[in-house]
Amino acid sequence: MIRIENVTKYHEGRVVIDDVTLTIDAHTNVGLIGPGGAGKSVLLKIVCGLITPDRGKVFIDDIDVHSLKPTELAELRFRIGMLFQNYALFDSMNVADNIAFPLRQAGESDETLVAQKVQQALKDISLPGIGDRYPNELSGGMKKRVSFARAVIRRPPIVFYDDPTAGLDPVTSSKIFILLRTMQRDFDTTSVTISHDIEGIKDICDRFVLLDQGRIVFEGTRAEIDACQDSLVSQFWQGYSDDELNV
Ligand SMILES: Nc1ncnc2c1ncn2[C@@H]1O[C@H](COP(=O)(O)OP(=O)(O)OP(=O)(O)O)[C@@H](O)[C@H]1O
């Protein structure tokens, strides 16, 4: 379970996360939505310990994330898969080594097993046979799928995806959403997915959180957000662009 308690974060004299409290139950898949600059990425980075809040606490399975020593935080991160917007692949490593990186970092020394897992991962992302290629030989969508494979290769129980389909064409986006759903179903993960593709995440999340100007303005199920009468929530949910929001 993830528990965010009264978290506030300032940046350059401005409040970015404003007293956010939220509980994410184990095995729940949360869609984190909201206009650009609402604070979604910062909130996710606070949850996994990459950014320290100015106030408030975050607990992952009762562990106070921001009280951990660096080595303890690194251990906790072994249980978390992260696919960040700019979570770049290592250009000097081929695809297979990129995907294998988290396994080797966790101390896996059985190279036969590593190779098997990498082959399976490449099959899962529908890119078999590209293990020898280097990132600069791949399209944006292929890189994203390889990043996804690397994020989930250790089958982490918790996964955070920051806009996993940003900049991808509709066909590749739908492949990524199918992968996400397969991960959730087959490995019973707890996940938070930030996405601007409202139609795409509607079907892969159990609950939705709408963040606006650093505050939670909605939290609930698909049925609850479908029925929500609040104009900001309903306009955003129905896919109006940020510019068209008129409240
Ligand atoms: N390290 C940081 N710590 C705190 N705030 C930051 C940091 N870096 C950037 N910010 C601020 O956080 C604000 C929110 O940015 P964030 O990327 O979280 O928004 P977002 O909702 O994810 O937007 P988008 O949907 O466009 O990706 C920005 O206005 C930015 O100035």
CATH topology of domain 1-79+158-246: Rossmann fold (3.40.50)
Nearest CA to ligand 1 atom 18: 39
- 125 C-alpha to ligand 1 centroid (Å): 30
- 41 C-alpha to ligand 1 centroid (Å): 6
For the cut 80, the answer to whether the pLDDT of residue 2 exceeds it is yes
Q: What are the pocket residues of ligand 1 if the criterion is a CB atom closer than 6 Å to any ligand atom?
A: 9, 11, 16, 34, 36-42, 51
Q: Which tens digits make up the pLDDT trace of 173-215?
A: 888 898 888 888 888 999 999 999 999 999 899 999 999 999 9
Ranges of CATH 3.40.50.300 domains, the chain = 1-79+158-246
Question: Which pTM value belongs to this model?
Answer: 0.89
The residue assigned the tokens 């982490």 is 156
- 196 C-alpha to ligand 1 centroid (Å): 15
For the cut 80, the answer to whether the pLDDT of residue 226 exceeds it is yes
The answer to whether ipTM exceeds 0.90 is yes
- What is the pLDDT, as a whole number, of residue 238? 86
For the cut 80, the answer to whether the pLDDT of residue 97 exceeds it is yes
Mutational pocket test of ligand 1: of 11, 161, 213, 245, the residue with most ligand atoms within 8 Å of the beta carbon: 11
Sheet (strand 55-60) strand order: 14-24, 2-11, 55-60, 63-64
